[in-house]
Amino acid sequence: MNWQTFFEWPAVRIITLLAALAGLVRFFAWVLGPLRRWWRRRTLDPQKEIPRLFDALEQVAEEFGIPIRGPLVQNGHPLPSDAIEKLQSITGQIESFAQAITLSAQEYLEFGNAYSALQQFDKALQKYDRSIALRPTSIRYNNRAIAHAQLGHLERAIDDYSKATELNPNRPQPFSNRGVAYMHLDQFERAIRDFDTALHLEPNYPEILINRGVAYDHLGDHERAIEDFDKALELAGDDPVALLNRGRAYSHLRHHQRAIADYDKALELSPDFRAEIFYNRGDTYSCLKEYERAIQDYDKALQLDPDDAGALIQRGNAYADLKNYQRAIKDYSEALRIKPDFAEAFYNRGNAYFKLRNYQRAIEDYDQSLELNPELSSALYNEACIYFLMSQKEQASDALDQLIRLDPRWRERAKTDTVVGDIRDVIRWPKSESIT
C-alpha cells in the first residue's frame, strides 16, 4: 500500500484531525483542571463550604459505619477502597478551606477521626491537639490516645487515657483502651484492672471480655480466660477473634482437639486474619505430633503472609521433627533473612546442623544465638557436646564452666547428666567450682 496515498483519503484525514483535537482537549483539561479547582476555591466562601463538607463527611461516615462524631476504639477495622477515596477527597477539601478560618472543637475532632479512619495518625494528632486546646473532653483525650497508641507512643497514650477517665469516669472505652495499651507493654495485671472497671460500667461488652481473656491467658490463668471467651461468644455469637483466642487457651491446657475445633470454626467465618488461625492450628497439630498436617497449615499461613518469620521457624521445627534437616535449615535461613536478630532461628538452625554433624556451622549459629540472647543456656550445653565429640576437651570444659555460671541449676544437673558425666570422666571439670 502507498501510505502517502492512504493519508490523502478524506475519511482518514478527518479521523486524524478528530484524534488530534481530542488530544488537545485532554491536554487542556489536564492543564486547566487544577487551575479551575484552585480558582473555584478562591471564589467560594469558606464559611459556607466548611459546613457543607462536614455534612458530606458525616454522610460518608454513616454509609460506612465510621464513628466520626464520637469516641473511637482500638484496632478499628480497615476501610473499603471506595470509603477511603471519598474520605480523602473530603479531607483534602477541608484542609484547603481550613487555612482561611478556624474550625470549632467538634469540627477538629471529626477531622481527626476522619484521618484516624484513613490511618493517617500523624495528621489525626494535629487535629486532636487543636480540638483539645479549644475544649478538653474525655472523648477528645481518648481519641488522641488511640492515635498515639497506633504510632507506638504507648506511654503518651496511657497519659491521655488517664485524663479521659478523670474527665468522665463513667465511660468504659477509655478504661478498655488503656487496658489494651497496658497489654502491649506486657503489664497484664494493670490491664485486667482496667478491663474489670470497664466491664463494671458495661457488663455485656464482648470486645472487653475478649481482651481480658487474652490478659488472663498471658498470665497462665487459662480457665478464667476461657470463661471470658465463652461469655463473649454468648453475647456476640460466633466471633472469630473469641474463637481464635479460646483455641489458644485450650491449646495451653493441652485440650488440643477442642482448640482445633475452635480454629476450624473461626476459619469457616473467613476473617481477615486467616494466616494467624492457620499458624495457631499448625502449632496445635505439632503438639499432637501430626507434623505433616502442621506443615500444611504453616504453608497456608505463609501463602497469606510470606514474611512471617515465626511461621517459618515453626515450619522448620516441624521439618526437623520429621528429620528433614536440610528443609528445616532452609526455613530457618529464610526467617533470618526477614528478621536477622532472631536468636531462636540461629539456635534451631544450629540444632539442625548438629544433627547433620556439620559441627562448625552449628557452633557458629550457637555463638550468634548467645550473642543475641546470652541467657540461652541450652546453646552452651550443645556447644560443650560438640566440642567433646570433636575431641576438643578444653573448649568443652570452658563451655560447661560458662554454663554453670550462667545457670547455677546445671550444678545439680551435671551430677546426673550422662553427657556431662562423660566429659567429667575425661577432663577436669568444672574449673569454677566442684559439682561433687
**For residue 77, pLDDT beyond 80:** no
270 vs 251, more confident: 251
- The pLDDT-based confidence of 17 (bands split at 50, 70, 90) is low
Q: Residues near 310 by Cβ (< 8 Å), separated by ≥ 6?
A: 279, 335
- Confidence tier at 357 by pLDDT (50, 70, 90): very high
Residue of 74, 177, 162 whose CA lies nearest to 116: 74
Full-model pTM: 0.79
Task: Say whether 169-272 and 44-168 share the same fold.
Answer: yes
Q: 283-358: which CATH topology?
A: 1.25.40
Quick one: pLDDT at residue 188? 98
d(CA 261, CA 130): 49
Give the model confidence (pLDDT) of 393-408 as tens digits.
888 888 888 888 888 8
Q: What is residue 424's predicted lDDT score, i.e. its pLDDT?
A: 59
* Identity of residue 82: D
Domain extents in the chain: 44-168, 169-272, 283-358, 374-436
What 8-state DSSP symbol labels residue 435?
A: -
Q: pLDDT of 175-203, one tens digit each?
A: 999 999 999 999 999 999 999 999 999 99
Q: How far apart are CA 118 and CA 331, in angstroms?
A: 36
Burial 114-152 (b: 16+ CB within 10 A, else e): bbbbbebbebbbbbbebbbebeebbbbbbbbbbbbbbee
- What is the residue whose three cell numbers read 464482648? 206
Confidence of residue 62 (pLDDT cuts 50, 70, 90): confident
Crossing angle for the helix pair 274-287 and 309-321, nearest 10 degrees? Answer: 20
For the segment 355-365, the average pLDDT, to the nearest whole number, is: 96
61 or 145, greater pLDDT: 145
Give the separation between CA 194 and CA 187, rounded to whole angstroms: 11
Q: What is the mean pLDDT of the chain?
A: 87
Q: Is the pLDDT of residue 387 over 80?
A: yes
Secondary structure of residue 428 in the 3-state scheme: coil
Residues 169-272: name the CATH superfamily.
Answer: Tetratricopeptide repeat domain (1.25.40.10)
pLDDT at 432 (0 to 100): 43
Cα–Cα distances in Å, from 177 out to 108, 118, 150, 183, 229? 21, 19, 12, 10, 18
Return the residue matching grid coordinates 481530542: 22
What number does CATH give the domain 44-168?
A: 1.25.40.10
